[in-house]
Amino acid sequence: MEVQWTIRLFAGLAERLGGSEIRVTASRDGMTAGRLKALLAERHPAHGGLILASFVARNEAYAADHEPVEPGDDLALLPPVSGGAPESAPADDSAAEDGRYLLTRDPLDADTMFGKVIAPEHGASLVFIGTTREWTDGRRTLHLEYEAYAPMALKTLRQIGEEIEAKWPGAKAAIAHRLGTVPVGEASVVIAVSAPHRAACYEASRYAIERLKQIVPIWKKEIREDGSEWIGERREGWNPTAPADC
């Protein structure tokens, strides 16, 4: 039996396919994430490479190509993330319950995030701030634009915090990411980490930013003097379901 499938689109995929979602009619029998991608690539051959390099999200979690999907699932097709590009996003800030994981269109406050990880039993703390740089390989950037699959992004930010706590017992993390336009010199991401000892603190901070670039559905678009580009589309071998490689 054929049914209608609705798939959300983000970043470069939304631009290429002309909207924030796409609907296709196909049989529900034996439908998997990989088969759904193959169907979309067949119907949009000019963008087949990017479609096949993308990952299906099912109910706000990454689905490997062999995993089954159902018409009633909340489905999205996510191009390779870039560490995250403007979202049809929340009108207001989005944050996890404890405020340690935040998406916002407002300028980021590093001191606020730092305050969320301070603990009397911790002897080390770090704040990493990622900013928009003006020059890259001789090309001038005017600003960056960030977009996110907001509810899933918050879940994966929290996942990173939980992984840190498991890998470095006692460590604590807080992560804020800005959406929309981020001018040159302003912060796009703030990661605060504290731990009982400095070695764990350094390692956990590095882990957080590398893991963010691997699994969090946030994309960035570079707006340059000579044009614009979604960063990450040419990324090969992206697999957010793989074990952490950092």
In the chain, what are the domains? 2-78 (3.10.20.30), 94-231 (3.90.1170.40)
pLDDT value of residue 99:
87
- Each as own residue / partner, the long-range contacts of residues 95-99 (CB below 8 Å, 24 or more positions apart, any chain) are 95/154, 96/154, 96/157, 96/158, 99/174
Q: What is the pLDDT of residue 96?
A: 56
Q: What is the pLDDT of residue 88?
A: 37
Q: What pLDDT sits at residue 90?
A: 44
The closest of 27, 30, 23 to 9, measured between CA atoms, is 23
Whole-model pTM: value is: 0.90
What is the predicted pLDDT for the residue at 1? 79
What pLDDT score does 146 carry? 97
pLDDT at 91: 42
Give me the residues paired with residue 174 across strands: 192
- Residue-wise pLDDT tens for the chain (246 aa)? 799 999 999 999 999 999 999 999 999 999 999 999 999 999 999 999 999 999 999 999 999 999 999 999 999 999 999 753 333 344 446 665 578 999 999 999 999 999 999 999 999 999 999 999 999 989 999 999 999 999 999 999 999 999 999 999 999 999 999 999 999 999 999 999 999 999 999 999 999 999 999 999 999 999 999 999 998 876 778 899 988 765
Tell me the torsion sign for CA atoms 129, 132, 137, 138. negative
Q: What is the pLDDT of residue 246?
A: 58
